[in-house]
């Protein structure tokens, strides 16, 4: 009887420990630029391979069920969409619905006109940089993130929200793919989750930038920095200082542009912020 009691006590401790370290899920919002969480009809011990738009999708165990955490691109069509689920040699589909969302419009005036209409030499640089940026945002590692909720990397007022339809000097450009946080130049930027630095550099539009891999297609990007205080390949912990706020690249003032990429889709960072 004593032996059984000890086994039950050990099992209870293990159960409590597993729950204590359960991944906290992000907010769900099935719109372009949002996230959809799909419980999978699969009970195996190994996570299945899931793809959406030919991109690998994060799959985690939550509440004793496999869940696909799918980032929806801003360019996604409204209506029915499908993920593909590969289990052994079988492939099945599971559908979900993307709802419409109207994002606001923002007009900005940029004094450096080359940051709006680059010259030929600028375009050579921009095309080369775009390959590096795209590779970083599409990066995949099998590591599972510690959490899918995180604090903002810097304290400050949100100056431009995600998804804004932008006009620079009255010329239409791509929607805003991140969250801008206004802060004084030199303010420390801290890693919101542990991860690994996979890219740093000075880019034409983004200025001094850092990319962090948190695992399973979750990548965060930090732009317009005055300084970069980490190196590529460096492992970082949550709360580590990675750089400082600046106004490099295409900016109208000092701020941090913070982007979150999930399965190579830029999503609203607000969906992952801790409350």
First to last CA, the chain: 46
pLDDT digits (tens, 9 = 90+) for 91-103: 999 999 999 988 8
How do the pLDDT tens digits run along the chain, 275 residues long? 444 444 434 443 333 333 334 788 999 999 999 999 999 988 888 999 999 999 999 999 998 899 999 999 999 999 999 999 998 888 999 999 999 988 877 777 877 888 778 899 999 999 999 999 999 999 999 999 999 999 999 998 887 787 777 677 677 667 778 999 999 999 999 999 999 999 999 999 999 999 999 999 999 999 999 999 999 999 999 999 999 999 999 898 899 999 999 999 999 999 999 97
pLDDT of residue 172: 65
Quickly tell me which residue has 């921009």 as its tokens. Answer: 126
- Identify the sign of the CA torsion 190, 150, 136, 113: negative
pLDDT digits (tens, 9 = 90+) for 45-75: 899 999 999 999 999 999 889 999 999 999 9
- Which residues are CB-neighbours of 253 under 8 A, at least 6 positions away? 182, 247
User: 190, 175 in Cβ contact below 8 A?
Assistant: no
The superfamily in CATH containing domain 111-272 is Glucose Permease (Domain IIA) (2.70.70.10)
User: 67, 48 in Cβ contact below 8 A?
Assistant: no
């Amino acid at each position: 009887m004593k032996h059984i009691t000890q086994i039950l006590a050990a099992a209870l401790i293990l159960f409590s420990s597993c729950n204590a370290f359960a991944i906290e899920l992000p907010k769900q919002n099935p719109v372009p630029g949002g996230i959809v969480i799909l419980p999978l009809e699969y009970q195996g011990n190994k996570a299945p391979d899931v793809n959406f738009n030919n991109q690998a999708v994060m799959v985690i165990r939550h509440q004793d069920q496999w869940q696909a955490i799918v980032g929806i691109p801003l360019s996604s069509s409204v209506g029915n969409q499908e993920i593909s689920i590969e289990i052994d040699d079988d492939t099945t589909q599971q559908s979900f619905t993307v709802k419409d969302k109207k994002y606001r419009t923002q007009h900005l005036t940029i004094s450096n006109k080359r940051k709006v209409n680059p010259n030929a030499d600028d375009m050579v640089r921009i095309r080369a940089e775009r390959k590096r940026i795209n590779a970083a945002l599409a990066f995949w590692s099998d590591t599972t993130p510690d959490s899918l909720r995180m604090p903002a990397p810097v304290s400050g007022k949100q100056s431009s929200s995600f998804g804004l339809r932008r006009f620079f000097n009255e010329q239409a450009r791509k929607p805003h793919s991140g969250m801008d946080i206004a802060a004084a130049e030199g303010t420390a930027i801290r890693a919101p989750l542990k991860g690994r630095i996979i890219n740093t550099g000075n880019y034409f539009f983004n200025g001094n930038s850092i990319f962090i891999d948190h695992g399973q297609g979750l990548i965060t990007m930090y732009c317009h920095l005055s300084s970069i205080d980490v190196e590529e390949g460096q492992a970082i912990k949550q709360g580590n200082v990675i750089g400082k706020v600046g106004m490099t690249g295409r900016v109208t003032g000092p701020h941090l542009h913070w982007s979150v990429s999930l399965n190579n889709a830029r999503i609203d960072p607000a969906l992952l912020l801790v409350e």
